[in-house]
Homo-oligomer: A and B are copies of this chain.
Amino acid sequence: MTRALTRKGEATRARIVAGAAAEIRERGVDEVRLEDVMARTGTSKGQLFHYFPEGKDELLLAVAEHEADQVLIDQEPMLSNLTSWPAWLAWRDRLVERYLAQGMQCPLNGLLGQAGRRAPGAQAVVTGLMGRWQKAITEGIRHMQSTGDIAPEVDADRAAAALLAGIQGGVLLLLSTGRIDHLEAALDLTIDSLRAGARAV
């Protein structure tokens, strides 16, 4: 029951999503009007409602999915190859670098409070993102346990949950205070404690 889309149509749709995402990152969800998206992407109102018949909510959901994917893609290939301490550090550096560059623009922030309540699906998008993110970290920890770099008693899931929380909180604090300290501290101290786990046994 998916509606037919020509190649040109798909391109336009993608352009709209990307443009809306950028606009939202720069100015915040609630400041962005459909007109802004139209202006930025060179489209008309007819097109918006052609590709997103349910209107703004549907567009927002598409943006949410787009941004959620992007978050993980931006961490590759590091995130999927946490197989040595240098690799972990490279990943850490990538995260810091990425969020520092992004500054106070936030792809997720909007999704949470705003879209989270609006579209019931947006909640699911965020949950899914966090699940995938945590799974990747867990796998990294398990791999390090298999090579003896992390103590076997460490509960990989729990440690990954804590690390993910530290990252999210670090980003949140970057967003609200403009400082990167918290993200760095959370990453460094949590990773250090994983490392210490190896010696502790």
**Residue ranges of A at the interface with B (Cβ–Cβ < 8 Å):** 27-31, 106, 109-110, 112-114, 116-118, 123, 126-127, 130-131, 158-159, 161-162, 164-173, 175-177, 181-183, 185-186, 188-190, 192-193, 196, 200
Contact = CB atoms under 8 A, between A and B. Distances in A.
Contact of A196 (B110, B171, B200): B200
A185 to B, nearest CB: 4
A131 to B, nearest CB: 8
30 contacts: A30-B30, A31-B117, A109-B112, A110-B113, A112-B113, A112-B176, A116-B176, A123-B176, A126-B177, A127-B176, A127-B177, A130-B173, A130-B176, A159-B189, A161-B185, A162-B182, A162-B190, A164-B182, A165-B165, A165-B166, A165-B169, A165-B182, A165-B185, A166-B166, A168-B173, A169-B169, A169-B172, A169-B186, A189-B190, A193-B196
A117 B30 contact: yes
A162 B166 contact: yes
Nearest to A131: B177
A28 B116 CA distance: 10
Given A162-B166, A176-B127, A193-B189, A113 B106 contact: yes
Contacts of A113: 28-30, 106, 109-110, 112-114
A45 to B, nearest CB: 22
Contacts of A110: 113
Contacts of A200: 196
B182 A173 contact: no
Contacts of A167: 165, 169
A74 to B, nearest CB: 18
Nearest to A110: B113
A123 B190 CA distance: 28
Nearest to A125: B176
A147 to B, nearest CB: 21
Contacts of A183: 165
